[in-house]
Amino acid sequence: MNFQAIAKVPLIRRALLIAADLLTGFRLLVAVAIVAMGALYGRSALPWVVTLTMLAWMGDFFDGKAARLAAGNSTPKTLFGKYDFVVDVTLTAATFVYLGLARFIPLPLVILYLIAGAAAGISAKGAKTVVIAFMRPVDLTAGFIAFYYYPKLFLAFLVWLFFALIWNWKRVKVGVPYFFRDMKARIKKEKVPELPSKETWGELHEKWPWEDEETKQKFEEWKGKLSQKNRK
């Protein structure tokens, strides 16, 4: 079956784009929900938090692929597509905040870690590898705590992880070695390696919302106006 040909049908194409936005939005709603559950229910909400988080990340497997299938060789035109990585970061941060609110980890430590991650990301000009370097320890910590207290969830997690690796194998196979090359270059203050081509990577390169040319131009104009105001 030629899915690309089917995706070109206007109605199907529109449905795929809407589905991609809904899946991205769902991750954001889950982020809000798990913070609220941490504040209201604490540790007792952990099984729900784990379940919702796995569902949310499963949506992440599909939203980009749905958008790219609908777009064909062009850039996906979804409402929330360019915010996809920002939503991923928000979900990871929300998971860590839950652990602090539920008193699995001291909340001040959570806040300090998130501030450190934000500062590192800003200093690296939003480099995704740097942000991801702060996200992965959060994932590992959350996973260890969840399955220490609820070992029965371990089997479900293994099934989910297996599915995730199979579904994203091309991305993992290329992305993981690139991540370590990039981080090594940054630590040694060497030239950062170029991103793999989209054909090799298996997906269109996503950018931070403020990386598009229009936003960059507005930012430069704003800096110019601010500089003129300071000189007066």
Per-residue pLDDT tens over the stretch 121-159:
888 877 888 889 999 899 889 888 888 888 877 778 788
- Which residue type does 222 have? W
In this predicted structure, the answer to whether residue 200 has a pLDDT above a threshold of 90 is: no
In this predicted structure, the answer to whether residue 231 has a pLDDT above a threshold of 80 is: no
Read off the pLDDT band of 176 (50, 70, 90): confident
Looking at the domain assignment, is residue 193 inside a domain? no
Looking at the domain assignment, is residue 172 inside a domain? no
pLDDT per position as a tens digit, 72-121: 555 556 676 677 888 889 999 999 999 999 999 999 999 999 999 999 88
pLDDT per position as a tens digit, 35-86: 999 999 999 999 899 889 888 888 777 776 666 666 655 555 667 667 788 8
Helices (H), the chain: 3-7, 10-40, 46-71, 84-101, 107-123, 128-149, 153-167, 169-187, 198-201, 213-231
Q: Which domain holds residue 14?
A: 3-167+202-231
Total domains in the fold of the chain:
1
Looking at the domain assignment, is residue 181 inside a domain? no
Q: How far apart are CA 106 and CA 71, in angstroms?
A: 45
Looking at the domain assignment, is residue 37 inside a domain? yes
Looking at the domain assignment, is residue 197 inside a domain? no
User: Is the pTM for the entire model greater than 0.85?
Assistant: no
The full 3-state SS of 72-87, as one line of letters, equals CCCCCCCCCHHHHHHH
Looking at the domain assignment, is residue 178 inside a domain? no
- 71, two tokens: 């777009």
Looking at the domain assignment, is residue 66 inside a domain? yes
Q: What is the rounded end-to-end Cα distance, in angstroms, of the chain?
A: 67
Looking at the domain assignment, is residue 48 inside a domain? yes
